[in-house]
Amino acid sequence: AQSVTQPDIHITVSEGASLELRCNYSYGATPYLFWYVQSPGQGLQLLLKYFSGDTLVQGIKGFEAEFKRSQSSFNLRKPSVHWSDAAEYFCAVGASDKLIFGTGTRLQVFP
């Protein structure tokens, strides 16, 4: 069955530090992969997506993600975190006309 795992429920980083959020997926075919961000009380904003081609994907707000088929991973990275990045981050795989989401990682940023 298709699934997405985000192993880290909560991550805390200092402003200016680098960030990596982990995502592992289980899907039989070539996956469509997404990262979304959700601020409190808000909907989901798309950060980036992977469909095919270059495995390093650039997104908005300085985020990037790398698709590694051998590891079934699609980790999200940012070289320098800003306080405004504090939010919840969701990884998702597109499967059969629906998105399957991970449980999310809450990012806290300290000044």
Partner 1 sequence: KAGVTQTPRYLIKTRGQQVTLSCSPISGHRSVSWYQQTPGQGLQFLFEYFSETQRNKGNFPGRFSGRQFSNSRSEMNVSTLELGDSALYLCASSLEGVGFSGNTIYFGEGSWLTVV
- Nearest approach in angstroms of CB 16 to partner 1 is 29
User: 73 or 101, CB closer to partner 1?
Assistant: 101
Which residues contact partner 1 (rule: CB under 8 A)? 32, 34, 36, 41-46, 49, 51-52, 90, 92, 94-104
User: 11 or 99, CB closer to partner 1?
Assistant: 99
Q: How far apart are CA 94 and CA 2, in angstroms?
A: 9
- Residue 3's identity, in one-letter code, is S
Contact, 91 vs 74, CB < 8 A? yes
